[in-house]
Amino acid sequence: MASRTPSPTAARAARNPAPDRAGAAAGERPRRRLSVDERREQLIAVALELFSVRPPEEVSIDDIAAAAGASRPLVYHYFPGKQAIYEESLRRAGRELAGRFEEPPEGPLSERLYRVMGRYLDFVQSHGPGFAALLRGGSVAASAGTSAVIDEVRRAAHDQILSHLAIPSPSPGLRLTVRAWIANAEITSLEWLAERSVPLEELQLHLVQEFVAALTLTAAREPALAAELAAFFADERPDGPTGRLVRDLAGLFAVPGITEAVTALATAPSPSSDGPSPQATD
Amino acid sequence: MASRTPSPTAARAARNPAPDRAGAAAGERPRRRLSVDERREQLIAVALELFSVRPPEEVSIDDIAAAAGASRPLVYHYFPGKQAIYEESLRRAGRELAGRFEEPPEGPLSERLYRVMGRYLDFVQSHGPGFAALLRGGSVAASAGTSAVIDEVRRAAHDQILSHLAIPSPSPGLRLTVRAWIANAEITSLEWLAERSVPLEELQLHLVQEFVAALTLTAAREPALAAELAAFFADERPDGPTGRLVRDLAGLFAVPGITEAVTALATAPSPSSDGPSPQATD
C-alpha cells in the first residue's frame, strides 16, 4: 500500500542536524549521536531535499554538509562524491514515487487513476526543480545511473496501470499506449512546473481523461479490446473523470458543423485504397 | 521547403575518404585534396554517420579518423575532442530533422501531418541507434549542448504544427496538447526502434490519428476551439487519416455494450459536485 502523504524523513533530518562537525573534521568517526546507518540515511535525506529544490549542478558537497550539520570530510567518509549521493538520493525518490502508483483494484478505473495522479502530482509539486532537472536531461549529473532510476519509475507506472486494466495478455499496441501516456504525464508535469498556468486538480483530471481517450483509440484499432472497453465504460460513474469527459464531448459535438462533418466522414462510401490518399496536394 | 530525401552527403563522404593520412600525421596541413572547410564538413558527415548507427560511447576519435581516411591528429586539428564533434554532428542532424517538419499549408491537415510523419519516421529509421541514445539520455555524451539540440528540434516541430493549425493565439492548453503529442511521437519511435513490431506505415497513421484525437479532446475542454475543430473536420477526406479514424471509432461503438454505457454516462442527471467523487472506494 502506498503512503498517501510524503515521507517526512527528509524534512525531519534537515531540521535536526547532529552536531558532530569537530570529530569528523579531525578525521575520527562521527560522535555516536547517530549510528553509521542513521548518519548515512540522514545525509541521503538532506541531499534529497536539496536536490529536490535545486538542479544537481547547484548543489555542492559543502551545501549537503552544511544542511546536515556535518563536515565535508564526514560526507566524503560516506560517499565518494556528489554524483554518488545524487544517485543514491534519486534511487530513494524513485522508490517513493513508484510506491505512490500503488492503488487497490477497487472502484471505477478512472477514479483509481485519478487518485494515483493526485499522489503523483503532489510528488511533482514537492520535488519540482529536481524533478525537472532530472527529466530534462542534459544535466552534468545525468548518467547511466540516473537514467536507470527514471526507467525503473516508468516501468513501475506502466506495470501498475496494466495490472489495473486486468487484461491477461496486453498487446504491444496497448503497452505502447500506456507508455506514451506516461510520457504525456511527464511532459505535462514539466510544463506545469514551468508555468503553473492551471490548477493542479485540472491537470489531474485532464491526464486521466487523456488516458481514457487513448484507451478508446487503441480499442478502435484492436477489436480484441472492444469487450474490455465495454466493461470499462459500464463500470464508470457519471460524476467520475470518464463521465465528465463523455459529457464534454457530447457538448462539443452539439456545436454546429462538427457532427455533420464527422457523420459525412463516417458514412462516406468505403474507399478502395487502404492508405491515405497518396497524391500530393501541391 | 524541406528536402524529401535524406541528404546523401554523409554516405558520399564516407565512401570517398581523401588520402591525406601521411601529411597530417607529420603535423602538416592536410594535402589540398579537400579545403579546410570541406575537410571539416567531411569529418562532421562521417561522424554523423557513425553516431547514427552506434551510441556515442561506442564511437572513438580513431573510428572517426579511420572512416574519414584521416589521422587522429588531423581530427584533433579540427575539433578539441569527441564531445565537440558529437555536438556539432548532432546540430547538423537536428537541423536536417527540423527541415523535415516543413510542409506547404495545403490540403487536409491530417494529410499534411501524415506526410511530415513519413519524413520524420524515415529519419528515425536511418539514424536509429544514435536517435535512441540521444533521446534515452544518460549517455556519457549527454550535455547541456545535446539537450539544447533536442529542445530546438522539439520547438521546430511545435511551431510547425501550430502554424498549420492556423489558430491566431493558441491557448496554453493547445500548446500543451501539441507538446505532449510530440513526446508521444518520440516515445513511440523509440519503442518502434527497439521492437519494430508493426510496419512503419501503421505507426505513421496512428500518430496522426492520435493528434486528431488530442485536438478533439482539447476542444472539448476549450469551447473557444470548437469552431476551429468544425473547420478542421469539414476539410478532411474520407480516405485520409481522420476519415479512417472516424470509421474505426464508429465500428467500435457498434460493439454491444459500448454505446449503451457511454450514452448512460452522457445522459445521467448533471451531478452537483464539480469534481470526481472524492470518497475512497476501499
- pLDDT 10s digits, A235-271: 999 999 999 999 999 999 999 899 999 999 998 876 5
Residue B114 confidence class, pLDDT cut points 50, 70, 90 = very high
Contact A258 B206 (CB under 8 A): no
Q: B171 pLDDT exceeds 90?
A: yes
Nearest CA in chain B to A143: B138
Q: How far is B132 from chain A (nearest CA, A)?
A: 13
Q: B212 pLDDT exceeds 70?
A: yes
| Euclidean distance between CA atoms A54 and A52, whole angstroms | 6
Residue B194 pLDDT? 87
Q: Which residues have CB under 8 Å from A128's CB, separation 6+?
A: A52, A53, A193
Contact B172 A213 (CB under 8 A): no
Report which of A167, A224, A187, A220 is spatially closest to residue B205, judged by C-alpha positions. A220
Residue A7 pLDDT? 42
Nearest CA in chain B to A151: B136
Q: A11 pLDDT exceeds 50?
A: no
Angle at which helix A109-126 crosses helix A241-253, to 10 degrees, equals: 100
Q: A51 pLDDT exceeds 60?
A: yes
Q: How far is B151 from chain A (nearest CA, A)?
A: 9
Contact A140 B143 (CB under 8 A): yes
Residue B138 pLDDT? 52
Helix (H, G, I), strand (E, B), or coil: what is residue A191?
A: helix
Q: B175 pLDDT exceeds 50?
A: yes
- Of B189, B237, B258, which to mutate for an interface test with A (greatest number of A Cβ within 10 Å)? B258
Residue B17 pLDDT? 43
Residue A80 pLDDT? 94
Lowest mean pLDDT of A71-75, A134-138, B127-131, B132-136, name the range: A134-138
Nearest CA in chain B to A203: B173
CA distances from B227 to A129, A255, A256, B128, B236 (A): 38, 8, 8, 40, 15
Contact A266 B252 (CB under 8 A): no
Question: H-helix or E-strand containing B112?
Answer: helix B109-126
Contact B238 A184 (CB under 8 A): no
CA atoms within 13 A on the CB side of B207: 29
A90 phi, psi to nearest 5 deg: -65, -40
Task: Select, from the ranges A84-98, A141-155, B64-78, B135-149, the one with the highest average predicted confidence (pLDDT).
Answer: B64-78
Helix (H, G, I), strand (E, B), or coil: what is residue A90?
A: helix
Query: Cβ(A219)–Cβ(B251) under 8 Å?
Result: no
Over the stretch A205-237, which tens digit does the pLDDT of each residue have? 999 999 999 999 999 999 999 999 999 999 999
Q: Chain B partners of A180 at a C-beta cutoff of 8 Å?
A: 183-184, 187-188, 210
Tell me which of B3 and A203 has the higher pLDDT.
A203
Helix (H, G, I), strand (E, B), or coil: what is residue A190?
A: helix
Residue B4 confidence class, pLDDT cut points 50, 70, 90 = very low
Burial letters A107-134, b for 16+ CB under 10 A, else e: bbbbbbbbbbbbbbbbbbeebbebbbbb
Q: What is the CA radius of gyration of chain A?
A: 24
Over the stretch B17-68, which tens digit does the pLDDT of each residue have? 444 444 444 444 555 578 888 999 999 999 999 988 888 889 999 999 999 9
Query: Cβ(B157)–Cβ(B182) under 8 Å?
Result: yes
Question: H-helix or E-strand containing B66?
Answer: helix B61-68
Q: Average of pLDDT values for B230-240?
A: 96
| Euclidean distance between CA atoms A130 and A121, whole angstroms | 14
Question: Quick one: what percent of chain A has pLDDT higher than 70?
Answer: 82
- Of B58, B184, B215, which to mutate for an interface test with A (greatest number of A Cβ within 10 Å)? B184
Distance of CA A84 to the CA centre of its chain: 23
Nearest CA in chain A to B148: A138
Angle at which helix A200-221 crosses helix A241-253, to 10 degrees, equals: 80
Positive or negative, the CA dihedral B101, B107, B110, B114 is negative
Query: Cβ(A29)–Cβ(A50) under 8 Å?
Result: no
Place of cell 462516406: A268
Q: Chain B partners of A209 at a C-beta cutoff of 8 Å?
A: 217
